[in-house]
Amino acid sequence: MENTSRRMENTSRRMENTSRRMENSSRRMENTSRRMENTVEGWKNSSRRMEEHQMENTSRRMENSSRRMEEHQRMENTSRRMEEQQ
């Protein structure tokens, strides 16, 4: 009788342990899934930031180029006026 009772307790404990392990495993899988989603989001954000920086840099280069062309044109005009005055 005592053996039967002990065996039932052991069986019950093993079932609880198995249940706990399954819950832990499920939680780990959820955490892994969440980390993967976060990683993908991080990649998307990083990619978007790189594109924004590239657009800003391109815009800045175009502005600089335009400014240099205007300055060059002004210098040519000034030079031409000086030649005409002589």
pLDDT over 70 percentage in the chain: 100
* Amino acid letter for position 58: T
Within the chain, what is the greatest distance between any pair of CA atoms? 127
Over range 48-68, report the average pLDDT.
96
Please spell the DSSP secondary structure of 1-54, one letter per residue: -HHHHHHHHHHHHHHHHHHHHHHHHHHHHHHHHHHHHHHHHHHHHHHHHHHHHH
Over range 49-75, report the average pLDDT.
96
Over range 27-49, report the average pLDDT.
97
For residue 86, what pLDDT band results from cuts at 50, 70 and 90?
confident
